[in-house]
Chains A and B, each alone.
Chain A
Amino acid sequence: MQISELYTLLLLMLLLFLITSLIRVFIERKKLKREQFQTLTLIKCSKCGYTEEREFQTGDYILKPEKECPKCKAQTRIFKIYDVKVPRK
């Protein structure tokens, strides 16, 4: 094998290594972006069962008293806070 052939082989190996590394980085980045979540707050009136879902706000906690119920005027409370998957666009 001539020296120039050896260099070509080495160059090809280096290229192959670089390409596989790039593919790997790309796959890992894609994996990171795979799942997105959104936190929602569920407000419920314990008297009439009225429920309302809105985005989580800092300071929210389960059983926190909320606004008046639009149906029966009783005081509503935060019933649940949970994460839901955001569909990928």
Chain B
Amino acid sequence: MMLWIRNIKMRLARIERLAKEAKKKVLDVLKKGGIKGDPEKFLNTYLQFFVIDPVRDEPTNLMRRLEHLLDIRQKRMKLGLKQVLPDLGEFTRNNLEIMIEAARALDLIYRIVRHYLMLGQKTNNWILIMQLELEMPQIVKLAETYYKALDAFKSGKPVGDGIGALAAATLMNSGGSAIKKEIVEDTIMGVTERKGRKLYVIKAKGPGGTVGKPGEAVKKVVEELKGKVSRIIMIDAALKLEGEKTGEVIEGVGAAIGDPGPEKFKIESIAMKYSIPLDSIIIKESLEEAITPMRKEISNAAEKVIEKIDKALEERTKEGDIVVIVGVGNTVGIAQ
């Protein structure tokens, strides 16, 4: 048990170092941005910020209640950043918001591991210590991944998760000049033509780091078109299993989106309401690849996705049809 504790402590020290360095990086950006007031005090407020899950025993309006809470949380953070950094651009503020999220995740990992270590020592619970020792390599890897993600958001580089947004942006600009507008907050819709079909392409508003509200946007577009949509095609990055190839593009059905629930629920509901077939195309990548700068093999998948969309348009729709295409993911470093 002593050896296990020693190993856990050694790795915990590494996590602590990463959490401290992450905090320092966020503080540097806050100071460079000309923050009003004490940057450390501001950051500490958001490092341990929490959202209490809505009651799940009573499922009535569960998704709407969850969405409401998530909206409040996001608006509070955006307002907080706007108040202390009014002169910073919107996109830089969005990137900073994600940097704070990554620093928060690291801080949480550190505090949870320390909690279980101290609890195991206090109660002399060797099973708890053994479990922690066995889990430590994965926990350290997760912490390192969050730490690496900070640099991507600091410099505004596209991340692996943005492949859906990249495919959507490429599609929006492939058929000449598409008509683009902000359909809902932080979400852009472009109308373009391809293979004789009218495409409504949706993605988050870039190049700042945001995922937008794709569910709300799909709902609005389909309602505006009174349900006259022949297909909804979603594009998103998906976690690969160990041994699978990064950047592999595969197809399926259902709403390809990894949100906590509300956005996915809206897409499924609207597709069901008007009986619209819901297709999805996913690009395989690991968690590390999803939140660190986009690898070349993932970036190259954008063309393969468009080939799959072309095939779907030809095989499953006819000329003159309306198709909604949604590029899901964080759009940091990707405009429209």
Contacts and interface: CB of A to CB of B under 8 A. Distances in A.
Interface stretch (B30-38, B215-223, B261-269, B328-336): B328-336
7 contacts: A37-B295, A56-B155, A56-B157, A63-B207, A64-B335, A83-B293, A83-B294
B214 interface: no
Interface in B305-336: 333-336
Interface of A: 37, 39, 46, 56, 58-64, 80-84
B295 A62 contact: no
Nearest to A77: B173
Contacts, number: 59
B333 A81 contact: yes
Interface residues of B, number: 21
B299 interface: yes
A87 to B, nearest CB: 14
Interface in B249-303: 292-296, 298-299, 302
Nearest to B148: A37
B169 interface: yes
A82 B292 CA distance: 10
A20 to B, nearest CB: 10
A84 B295 CA distance: 6
Contacts of B164: none
A39 B233 CA distance: 30
Contacts of B155: 56, 58
Contact of A82 (B169, B206, B207, B299): B299
A60 B302 CA distance: 19
Contacts of B166: 62, 80
A56 B206 CA distance: 18
Given A39-B157, A39-B293, A83-B294, A63 B299 contact: no
Which interface residue of A56, A58, A63 has the most chain B CB atoms within 10 A? A63
Contact of B158 (A37, A46, A62, A84): A62
B157 A62 contact: no
Nearest to B166: A62
Given A62-B169, A82-B299, A83-B296, 12 more contacts: A37-B295, A60-B156, A62-B166, A62-B333, A63-B207, A63-B334, A81-B157, A81-B294, A82-B294, A82-B295, A83-B292, A83-B293
A58 B156 CA distance: 7
Nearest to B207: A61
A63 B336 contact: yes
Contacts of A46: 173
Nearest to B176: A46
Contacts of B292: 83
Nearest to A81: B158
Contacts of A59: 156
Contacts of B334: 61-63
A46 B177 CA distance: 12
Interface in B175-231: 206-207
Given A59-B156, A62-B335, A63-B334, A84 B296 contact: yes
